[in-house]
Every structure is written in C-alpha cells, then in structure tokens.
Amino acid sequence: MGVSNVLVLFGLCLGGILAFAAVVVVLGRLRAGEAMATLESWARTSGWTIERQPDTGWTRRVSGRDDDRVTFAVRGVVDGRAVAVAEYHYSKAYNGALGRRGQTYDRVLLVAQLRRPARTVAVSRRKSWQRSQHFMERDRPTSVGVEAFDLEYRVEAPDVRAVRMVIGEHLIAEHIAGRLPDWSVEGTEVLTYRDGRLGGDLSGIPTQFSAILRVAELIEADAGTATAA
C-alpha cells in the first residue's frame, strides 16, 4: 500500500471518528433536553419551581472551588420546610499511566432551609487517613468533646466557637448512631450531597430529603442548648 493510500485511509478513519463524536454530542444534547423537559413538567404538576443558573455557592461546599456552577435548582416544600435539589457535574484532572487525564463526577445536591441563620459549620465522616494521631490532634480545636463522635467525624468551621453553637447533644447522638449524612450549614442553608444523578423516577424526589431535613430539625432543636465553646 502506497503512502498516498495510507494517508487517504487515515483521513477516512479520522473523518469517521469525528463524525461519530459529533453524533454522540448531538444525541447527548437531545437527551439532556428531553430530561430537562421531563423535569420541568414534573415541577409544574408538583408545585415546584426551576431556577436557572442559581448563584448559590453550593459547589464550593462540595468541591472547594468557586468557579463551578449549578446549572439549575428545583425548589419546593417538603414537610413544611423549603428545600432545593440540583445536579452538579465537575471534572478533576489526574496523572495516569497514559499522561494527564480528566474524570467527570456527577452529584446530586440536597438543601434544606433553616428558619433562622446558623453559624458556618461542616461535618463529615473521617476517612482512614484522617484517624491518625497527628490529624486528630490538628482537629482538636473543632472537636465536640465526645470521643465516640470525634473519632468518627470531622468538624470544620472558620470560627471554632461556632461548633458548640450549632452542634448539640441531639446531633451528636444521631451521628454516633450513624443516622445522619455528611452536611454543612451556611446562613439558613443546610446542604448534603450524594454521588449520581436524579434518575428517572422524579416522583421520588421529595423522599430524598429525609436525612437533610432531620439535620435541619436537629440544628434548630439544639439551638437552645448548644453554647459557645
């Protein structure tokens, strides 16, 4: 096979790959459009509303980055409390065997509204490497002073005095029992998240708030007993 034939074959292959990629992109956009239309229909019939490109700051609380955005949020009321759900997609680059590559992650954000603002605090289950003596000592200023909690959960707060003002005995007990997710609170918004997408059964959206609603309820219940450190 001559050089010219090889070049022609290569061009045909490259053209086929580009054409296939274009089809994939178009199909992806069509599916995304259909999914949004279905979500809008569900929101209208359920009394919920969709907010496009909300300026929420939620993504910073998940990924630590300010430049990511939530493209839409669906807002409603569950058990008498204002809530919101959103899908969030972000990419992280890493160095692999074939060079620098990227991976996209999908997450669902769930937010419950407090009736009064709370101080900024975040609670997350410790990873194995966060259980070392060095790490535990570093976290001591934001510990709650209950060993069963402090060994399993890490608390972050820009002002350590906020910890005892937000986290009281009821929250501590529920976390020790393993009944609460990771969460953070800023102002009146309590947020948690899970990996994945909303999925096709939109009627189940209200039931996804049960855990974060419980966190909001306990923050308010503990407000009268929690005190500054």
* Domain identity same for 103 and 144: yes
161 occurs within a structural domain: yes
Looking at 174-183, 198-207, 213-222, which range is the least confident one?
198-207
228 occurs within a structural domain: no
**Entry pTM:** 0.78
210 occurs within a structural domain: yes
CB atoms < 10 A from the CB of 46, how many?
14
Q: Would you state the pLDDT for residue 99? A: 59
227 occurs within a structural domain: no
- The first and second tokens of residue 185, run together, are 């609170």
Could you give the number of structural domains in the chain? 2
Q: Residue length, the chain?
A: 229
* Domain identity same for 10 and 55: no
> Which among 182, 187, 155, 175 is positioned nearest to 218, based on CA atoms?
175
Q: What range defines the domain where residue 214 resides?
A: 49-222
In angstroms, the CA 58 to CA 39 distance is 21
229 occurs within a structural domain: no
Q: Which residue has the higher pLDDT, 199 or 71?
A: 71
pLDDT score of 166 more than 60: yes
pLDDT score of 34 more than 80: no
191 occurs within a structural domain: yes
pLDDT score of 179 more than 60: yes
* Domain identity same for 28 and 104: no
